[in-house]
Amino acid sequence: MFIGMVTVPLYLHKVGDARYGVLALVWLFLGYFGLFDPGVTRAAVFHIARLGGAGEEKERESVFWTALLINLSFGVVGGILLYFAARPVFMSTFKMPQEMRVEVMASLPWLAASVPLSVITGVLGGAMQAREKFVLINIINIFSSIISSIVPLAVAYWHGPDLRWLIPAVLITRAVGAIPTCIALVRAMPLGVGGGFDPSRVKTLFAYGGWITVTNLLNPILGTIDRMLIGSLLSAQAVAYYTVPYNLVTRASVIPGALADSLFPRLSRGKAEESSQLASNAVTALAAVLTPIIVTGIAAVPIFMRLWVGYSFAQHAASVGIVLLIGVWINGLAYIPYGHLQATDRPDVVAKFHAIELLPFLGVLWVGLHYFGLIGAAWAWTLRVAVDGGLLFIYAGQIPGWRKVLPGGLLVLISSMVAPTSILSVKTGLEIVILAITIFWSWNVSPMIRSAVQRQLGSRGVPRPA
C-alpha cells in the first residue's frame, strides 16, 4: 500500500492521466480471463485443507498436481482466446488515442502469456494458504508486489511511457515473483512424496469448483464493469480519475481478505457449530478493527488526495473515494459469510447471488453514469456490494454476530456526510467526535479484540484498564 502511495503519483507524472487509464483498462480486461481458473484453485484449497493430517501427504500432493495441470490446460486455452479477442476490443470499444491502441496491440503476446501464468500462480498460492503458511506467503507476496510496482516505473523512466515496454515489464516481474512461491511450496506441502496427477480427482475438483467457476465468471464483471463502462462512455482520463481512488481505498480490503483466507482452512474442516461460532466472532472482531480505519479514511481522503495527486485530479477523484469507502466497509464484512458458505460446501449460494445481482447492477450503473458521472458509478458499486453483503448475511443466518455491527455502518455513513476538505474546519471537528465514538463502540463490540489488546498491554507491563 505504501509503495503504491509513492509510485502512483510518479506513474501519473511520467505516463500521464490518459495512458495510466489505458493501463488500468488493460489490467481490467485481463481480469475477465480469470474465468479460465474453473474454480479449481478454491477447490484445491478446500480439499488440501481437509487433508491436513499426518499420513495424508500423498493425497495432498495428488490434489495439488491435478489442480495445477487442469489450470495450466485452461490457462493456455485462455491465453489463445485472449490473443484473438483483445484486438477488436481495444481497436473499437474503448476511447483512447490511436498511438496507444498501436502500443496495446503490439503487447498482445505478452497479455496472452499472462493468462496461464496467473492461473498457475493461483494454485501455488492456494496450496500455501491451505497449509496455513501465511507468514511465508505474505513475505513472498510483499516482495512480488514491490518489484511489480518499482520495475515497470523504472522502465518508464529509462525507455519512456511506451506500453510496449511497460506491459512486458509487469508480466516478467510477476513471473519472477512466482519463483519463491515454488521453492517454499516444496517444503510446505511437502512435494515429492509420491503423489501425482490423479484422473479420479478431476471430477471431485470440478464438482466443488463448478459453482466457483460461475463466481469466477461473474466476479470480474461485477468488479470491473464500472471502469469498463467509464472507458466506453466517458474517456480514458475519466478511468484514471475513478481507478486511482478505487485502488487506494480498496487497499483496506487486505484486512478482511487476510482474515477470510486464514479462516477458510479452519472453517473447511471444522464442525458446523464450531464454524458458525468462529465466523460470528470473526465478524464482530473485523468490524471492531475495520470501522475506525474506514471512518479515518473518509475524513482523510479529500485532504490526502490533494497532497498526493494534486488539486485538479483530487477534485474529480476525492468524492469517488468517499463513496467507495462506504462500500469497502460493507464488502469487507461480507468476506466472512462469503468464505463460510464456500467452506461449508455451499459455493452455489454465492454464485447464485452474483448471477441475480448482475443485470440490476448494470442497469443502476448505466443510469448512475449517464446522469451523475463518476460519482454515480461509485454509488452503483457501493449499492451493489451492500445488496450482496445483505444477501450473504441473511442466508448465512448461522452467523449470529452480524447484527451487532450495524451501528458501525451508521457511523461510517454519518462520517461520509461531513468529510472535511481542509484541516482547520468545523467538519474536521465533527469527524474527530465521530472517530472517538467509533473507537469507543469498537472497543465494546468485540470481546475477542478487547481481550487481545488487554493481553498485549499486560505482556508489555502496561496496567490493564479497569
Q: What is the pLDDT along the chain (466 residues), one digit of tens a residue?
A: 778 778 878 878 887 777 777 777 777 666 666 667 777 888 888 888 877 666 678 888 888 899 889 889 988 988 898 888 877 777 776 667 777 778 778 888 888 888 888 888 888 888 888 888 888 888 888 888 888 788 888 888 887 777 788 888 878 887 888 888 888 888 777 777 777 888 888 887 877 777 777 777 787 778 778 888 888 888 778 888 898 899 889 888 889 988 888 888 888 776 777 778 888 888 899 999 999 999 999 999 988 988 888 888 888 889 999 999 999 999 999 999 888 888 877 778 888 888 888 899 999 999 999 899 899 999 999 999 999 988 888 887 667 667 788 899 999 999 999 888 777 788 889 999 999 999 999 988 888 888 887 787 775 555 555 4
Comparing CA positions, the residue from 248, 368, 232 lying closest to residue 313 is 248
| 31-35 long-range contacts, CB within 8 A, separation 24+ | 31/220, 31/223, 31/224, 32/220, 32/221, 32/224, 33/78, 33/79, 33/81, 33/82, 33/115, 33/118, 34/118, 34/119, 34/216, 34/219, 34/220, 35/78, 35/213, 35/216, 35/217, 35/220
Residue type, 447: P
Residue 355, all three cell numbers: 448471477
How far is 234 from 336, CA to CA, in rounded Å? 35
Decide if 326 contacts 414 (C-beta within 8 A).
Answer: no
Burial of 194 (0-12, 13-18, 19+ CB in 10 A): exposed
DSSP state of 462: P
pLDDT, tens digit (0-9, with 9 covering 90-100), for 333-386: 999 988 888 887 777 888 888 888 889 999 999 999 989 989 999 999 999 999
Spatial CB neighbours of 223, under 8 Å, sequence gap ≥ 6? 31
DSSP state of 297: H
pLDDT, tens digit (0-9, with 9 covering 90-100), for 292-306: 999 999 999 988 988
Q: What is the pTM (predicted TM-score) of this model?
A: 0.70
DSSP string, 163-199: HHHHHHHHHHHHHHHHHHHHHHHHHHTT--SS----H
DSSP state of 53: S
Q: What is the pLDDT of residue 12?
A: 80
Decide if 90 contacts 52 (C-beta within 8 A).
Answer: no
Spatial CB neighbours of 360, under 8 Å, sequence gap ≥ 6? none
Spatial CB neighbours of 165, under 8 Å, sequence gap ≥ 6? 155, 156, 159
Decide if 416 contacts 265 (C-beta within 8 A).
Answer: no
Spatial CB neighbours of 438, under 8 Å, sequence gap ≥ 6? 291, 292, 295, 408, 411, 415
